[in-house]
Amino acid sequence: MRRPVIGLCAAVEDVSYRVWNDAASMLPRAYAESVQRADGLAILLPADDAVAERPDELLDLLDGVVFAGGSDIDPLTYGATPHPSVTGTDPARDRFEVALAHRALERDLPLLGICRGMQLLNVATGGTLVPHLPDMLGSDRHRLEPGVFCWHEVRLESGSLAAEAVGGERTTVGSHHHQGLAEIGEGLVATGWSVEDDVVEAIELPERRFALGALWHPEVDARSRVIGAFVEASRARVPAGA
């Protein structure tokens, strides 16, 4: 049987390598490696406006989609007023990923949203975001230092997809974000919360085979079962004998 094909939505970032400094479609290597460890075939998905208009053209090739971390979602995407803390947005990526999320949910294609990807899943289903959590929490405890994950405990709803994927109702996770969920999107339910401050850390669509958002980064934790559970759900879509 062939490996399940997992699309990883890419960011566009300025990168330096050897003698070059250029804009690149990229993701940290940990995303692909975590999919590969779970015996999935990882494919990088750069933003594509033609696919945003015809998402089936791409989704026909995939068994699952990961909406990865990265820059903030443009507040105009969910009808909010721009906030001074929200910078470096990428409207082309927003359009591409919202279209993929809509159609993937319609097709019941397994999807996993990580950090920004969880926020994207919420926005794609009509939800909104808290533009800057420190304004609400009084501290930046979910993003203390640039480029460093903040490790903290999360509690998960018993019997939820999140708890099943994690393998328990409590877990320690690594986060790096300054935004969170405000209004929850249509059909979504919150199933995970930060123990310290009750920030929503996991959302899911119970009516879908696997539609999960995690505000933390399971790809950087070799002990995490989350990406393995997602790849296994995607494997069920591989035709017998393929």
In a domain, 240, yes or no: no
- Identify the sign of the CA torsion 85, 90, 94, 97: negative
In a domain, 120, yes or no: yes
Q: What is the pLDDT of residue 132?
A: 82
In the beta sheet, which residues pair with residue 12?
25
In a domain, 241, yes or no: no
- Identify the sign of the CA torsion 27, 170, 229, 53: negative
Q: What is the pLDDT of residue 232?
A: 97
Higher pLDDT, 126 or 134: 126
Q: What is the pLDDT of residue 154?
A: 97
Catalytic position from the list 115, 142, 177, 201:
115
- For 48-90, what is each residue's pLDDT tens digit? 999 999 999 999 999 999 999 999 999 999 999 888 888 889 9
Q: Which one of 41-45, 77-81, 197-201 scores highest in mean pLDDT?
A: 41-45
Higher pLDDT, 162 or 242: 162
Kindly give, in sequence order, each residue whose CB lies less than 8 Å from that of residue 194, ignoring residues fewer than 6 positions away: 142, 152, 153, 154, 201
What's the average model confidence in pLDDT over 217-238? 96
The Cα–Cα gap between 214 and 207 comes to 17
This prediction has a pTM of 0.95
Kindly give, in sequence order, each residue whose CB lies less than 8 Å from that of residue 112, ignoring residues fewer than 6 positions away: 64, 65, 66, 67, 210, 212, 213, 214, 226, 227, 230
In a domain, 85, yes or no: yes
In a domain, 217, yes or no: yes
**Are the C-beta atoms of residues 191 and 201 closer than 8 Å to each other?**
no
State the chain's mean pLDDT as an integer: 93
In a domain, 242, yes or no: no
115: annotated active-site residue: yes
The domain in which residue 27 lies consists of: 5-11+22-235
With H, G, I as helix, E, B as strand and everything else as coil, classify residue 93.
helix
Q: What is the 3-state secondary structure (H, E, C) of 29-91?
A: HHHHHHHHHCCCEEEEECCCHHHHHCCHHHHCCCCEEEECCCCCCCHHHHCCCCCCCCCCCCH
9: annotated active-site residue: no
- φ, ψ dihedrals at 12, nearest 5°: -110, 120
- Identify the sign of the CA torsion 159, 161, 163, 165: positive
Number of domains in the chain: 1
Give the confidence band of 137 by pLDDT, cuts at 50, 70, 90.
Answer: low
Q: What is the pLDDT of residue 110?
A: 98
In a domain, 69, yes or no: yes
For tokens 């980064």, the residue is: 217
Q: Above 80 in pLDDT, residue 242?
A: no
Q: What is the pLDDT of residue 174?
A: 93
Q: Which of 45, 47, 210 is nearest to 113 (CA)?
A: 210
In a domain, 118, yes or no: yes
| CATH number of the structural domain spanning residue 115 | 3.40.50.880
- φ, ψ dihedrals at 119, nearest 5°: -65, -40
Q: What is the pLDDT of residue 218?
A: 97
Q: In this prediction, what percent of the chain has a pLDDT beyond 90?
A: 78
What's the average model confidence in pLDDT over 18-25? 90
Q: What is the pLDDT of residue 138?
A: 65
Catalytic position from the list 142, 177, 178, 217:
217
